[in-house]
Amino acid sequence: MKKKTNYPIFITSAILGLIIGIAGFIYYRTSPFFTGFLLGAFFLAFGPYLFYKFREQGWISELEDQFPDFLRSLAEAQRAGMTLPQAIYMSRSDDYGRLSPEIEKMAAQISWGISFTDILTQFAERSKSSRVQSTVSLIIVAHHAGGDIVKILEAASDSARERQSLAKEQASQMQQYLGIIYMSYFIFIGVIYLIKTQFIDVFQDITLPTMEGEGIPLETYDSLFLAMLLIQAALGGLVAGKFSAGSVFAGIKHSVILIIIGYVAAIFILGL
């Protein structure tokens, strides 16, 4: 995986988003589309960085999926009499998906005479996967200790495969909770619609006294409802990510989806 991070793009998008957000606050804060303007500025500011992080997470997941097969291949090569460096070098011709470029890089480093420990350590660091890093550490220790590396590789492969199977099974079981969160948000939109159309709009000609004896403007209710929709979408998305993927960060994409749904519903259904 090429770890080139596009910091200039991140910085530029953040600056542009900030400028647009400030301009919108100064010139369009009385516009009915002011909230949408700010949301657009926010997505412009943080969108490229979030896209990069989600892409990176996807790469890590694919690498972890292929890693057990790679370990099994190393174990078979070891059983055939090869050393670990030789096994890695021979594996470069096999197809391991997203893991293949990393194997080719390790094979090139072996041909350059770089120590096996350094090669595996650098690979583990590039992977950015705690699972891969812990397994690689175990392999390095076993390699130096001179133990039965074949059994260790097979056990590490089986353990990694079992962890992946359990994680996928858990994710599959939690999908129902993801659906519940989305359904709850649609129900929440429906409740706000009923409150607005059956209560607020019906009594729009009636002055509701406040503590100071003044009427509450209808725009206040609209702003309150819109804020409730956006807050519920943001927090609900984070909870959905925690349930479905075990990570709050993974819930950001659900938050974005729910925020877009909520804002569209607010404009075209609720008339906020």
22 plus 67 within the same structural domain: yes
Q: How many C-beta atoms lie closer than 10 Å to residue 98's C-beta?
A: 16
What percent of the chain is modeled with pLDDT above 90?
Answer: 8
Q: Which segments of 196-217 does DSSP mark as H helices, in order? A: none
7 plus 81 within the same structural domain: yes
For tokens 């877009």, the residue is: 260
What is the total count of domains within the chain?
2
How far does Cα 17 stand from its chain's mean position? 21
pTM above 0.85, yes or no: no
Question: Please, which pLDDT band fits residue 1 given cuts at 50, 70 and 90?
Answer: very low
Does residue 269 register a pLDDT over 70? yes
Are 262 and 189 spatial neighbours (Cβ–Cβ below 8 Å)?
A: yes
7 plus 92 within the same structural domain: yes
98 plus 227 within the same structural domain: no
Tokens matching residue 250: 């993974």
Question: Please, which pLDDT band fits residue 188 given cuts at 50, 70 and 90?
Answer: very high
Question: Please, which pLDDT band fits residue 215 given cuts at 50, 70 and 90?
Answer: low
| Helix 252-268 and helix 149-195, axial crossing angle in degrees, nearest 10 | 20
Question: Please, which pLDDT band fits residue 199 given cuts at 50, 70 and 90?
Answer: confident
Average pLDDT, the chain: 81
Question: Please, which pLDDT band fits residue 190 given cuts at 50, 70 and 90?
Answer: very high
**Residue range(s) defining the domain that contains residue 3:** 1-147
| Helix 34-79 and helix 149-195, axial crossing angle in degrees, nearest 10 | 160
- The Cα–Cα gap between 54 and 61 comes to 11
33 plus 141 within the same structural domain: yes
213 plus 119 within the same structural domain: no
Q: What is the pLDDT of residue 203?
A: 66
**Mean pLDDT, rounded, for 176-190:** 90
**Mean pLDDT, rounded, for 235-256:** 83
- The Cα–Cα gap between 190 and 207 comes to 25
